[in-house]
Amino acid sequence: MSMSIALAGNPNSGKTTLFNELTGARQHVGNYPGVTVEKKQGTVVSNHKELNIVDLPGTYSLSAYSLEEVVARDFVVNEKPAMIVNIVDASNLERNLYLSVQFMEMGIPMTIALNMMDVAKKRGIEIDVTRLSNLLNVPVVPIVARSGKGKGQLLDTIARHTGSPAEPLRISYGNDIDTALDEMEQTIKTSEFLTSKYPARWTALKFLELDKQVIEQGRQESVTITKDLETLVNKVTSHLGVTLDTHPEGMIADQRYGFINSVLKQNVITYVQDQNRLQVSDKIDRVLTNRLFGPVIMVAVLMALYHFTFAYSEIPVGLLESFFGMVSDIAQKVLPEGLLKSLIISGIIDGVGGVLGFVPLIMFMFLGISFLEDTGYLARMSFMLDRLFRMFGLHGASVMAFIVSGGIAGGCAVPGVMATRTLKSPKERLATLLTVPFMNCGAKLPVFALLVAAFFSNNEACVMLLITMISWMGALLVAWLLRSTIIKGASTPFVMELPPYRLPTLKGLLIHTWERTWQYIKKAGTVILGISIILWATMTFPMLDQSNSTRDESSQAQAALKHSIAGRIGTSLEGITKFAGFDWRTNISLVGGFAA
């Protein structure tokens, strides 16, 4: 019987790296029901038990502030996994344990995977794993996800403790809140209010934290009890505001961190180096994020990425083109004349082959992007571009949406639009999602690559960089226009954690590259195949009777195309496109381009 195990943790804690290490190629990617947040699942066998591993979205807490936090919490509550594996960054233990405490408050069976032990050691941090486990009363396993160290011990621990009940953690949040909590908890238990979903004390905590999702669920369950609980919340909120100039949510967070500090100060952490000394990542950032040198280095990195992509993909692209050309020649000789031959050669082989021929180029581009992402440099790009984006009314977090959409050519606007969900301001989110399509996505890249290779064969990397710069400036100018007129509003502050620089693992790079390349291949093999057949049909029917025509073969083909549905559409558009110098043949290409 398969057991569900959820991987949870802060962004940049190594959660996805561990997921890839555990599942390898035995994984598939989808979306959580009803939302656009990516859902990764995979399987692994440990002690004759099959474990279904689910990689939850990275989140700092279980408060419903972002879509990722809602999705992670809903999965834990609704799917009820056999165990949560909380990946904790050993070099940032205090902050990472905040999420652990929230899981413990829910009373969910949990194992802490203490990741990046190698990074902690380099920073002079020594952690007494056994003592930490005893104080928290949960299993703690030291691991290094990127190398696989500790993976076996982690799987054994999961298998041993799966099914073991866990008591909800009870923390004192101060006399005022504790008194209100006890009263609310009693009300919830007596009336069985939401007890089928959440522990009573945890529900009371969410009301005190003004969690909109839980409060709304409460109203659906019982309006009367919800109002009674909200009355108690308003009472304690008013009292704390007058006496301590604070609010329950802030006080609860403070007490959670107080609990974490009390644990860590019991000889759990030992520092063998000066805590204030500059780490290697800090020293590198002094150069790479420097106001003067940073932008220059960033442009050089993009230039190197394009050079790598075009230089090393040239041979495999040529081989694939030759292969599809050979297949087309064979079909030309073997198949009898007629519509079937035309469909197979023009509709399928030429259509899909033309797209799949660029798979090596796309693959090398994704390999380069995965390298920059895994090293931590993409996060620095967001940091450096924040000031520039503010000038155009956007947010630093918009950078990632632009990059994913094709800011580094080869992305896709669909996940780019999805990435805007991290933006808290609705106006900044709207401005971002309206401008990300300006980026050079994977659909545009083959066209640009073909044109650049044909007309600028000696300066491919430079021209691609120039095209990228033009797309960025066009998007930023439109964003500025939108933010200055239709969607005015103040900018929100940009807060982002910069992960330490790491050397990516070959396995991680290959998995990330294959995931993205496979998505491109699936589109080419399904959507683009269907569109190719439709385009072939519109360019073939209705057929023109030329049995008595004396024109040469080229003229007959042109007449047949003009007589077709596509030809008629192209001709009808000439009244508009003639000002750009386009005739009906060019218009057919333009209409076909909408398929991308």
Q: What are the chain's domains? A: 3-161 (3.40.50.300), 175-264 (1.10.287), 293-504 (no CATH), 541-593 (no CATH)
> What integer pLDDT is reported at residue 596 of this predicted model?
56
| Alpha helix segments (H runs only) across 112-222 | 117-122, 129-136, 151-161, 175-191, 200-208, 212-221
Residues in the chain: 596
pTM listed for this prediction: 0.74
> What integer pLDDT is reported at residue 547 of this predicted model?
67
Question: pLDDT band at 411, cuts 50/70/90?
Answer: low
| Mean predicted confidence (pLDDT) in 105-113 | 91
Around Cβ 317, how many Cβ atoms within 10 Å? 20
| Mean predicted confidence (pLDDT) in 201-209 | 90
Mean pLDDT of the chain: 84
| Mean predicted confidence (pLDDT) in 427-452 | 83
> What integer pLDDT is reported at residue 127 of this predicted model?
92
Q: Give the model confidence (pLDDT) of 573-585 as tens digits.
A: 998 988 888 889 8
C-alpha–C-alpha distance, residues 397 and 400, integer Å = 6
Rg (CA), the chain: 29
Question: pLDDT band at 479, cuts 50/70/90?
Answer: very high
Alpha carbon of 323 to those of 330, 453, 514, 580: distances in Å? 11, 20, 22, 37
CB 409 within 8 A of CB 468: yes
Say if residue 111's pLDDT is above 90.
yes
| Mean predicted confidence (pLDDT) in 29-37 | 43
Name the strands in the sheet holding 110-115, side by side, starting at the edge strand that comes first in the sequence. Answer: 27-31, 38-46, 49-55, 3-9, 83-89, 110-115, 140-142
Question: pLDDT band at 101, cuts 50/70/90?
Answer: very high
Q: Give the model confidence (pLDDT) of 117-150 as tens digits.
A: 988 888 888 999 999 999 999 999 999 988 889 9
Say if residue 266's pLDDT is above 60.
yes
Around Cβ 152, how many Cβ atoms within 10 Å? 12
Q: Give the model confidence (pLDDT) of 175-185 as tens digits.
A: 989 999 999 99
* Contact residues for 111 (Cβ-Cβ < 8 A; gap 6+): 83, 84, 85, 86, 138, 139, 140, 141, 154, 157, 158, 161
| Mean predicted confidence (pLDDT) in 151-172 | 86
Question: Which tokens go with 51?
Answer: 């474990």
Q: Give the model confidence (pLDDT) of 340-388 as tens digits.
A: 888 888 888 887 787 777 788 778 878 888 888 888 888 888 888 888 8
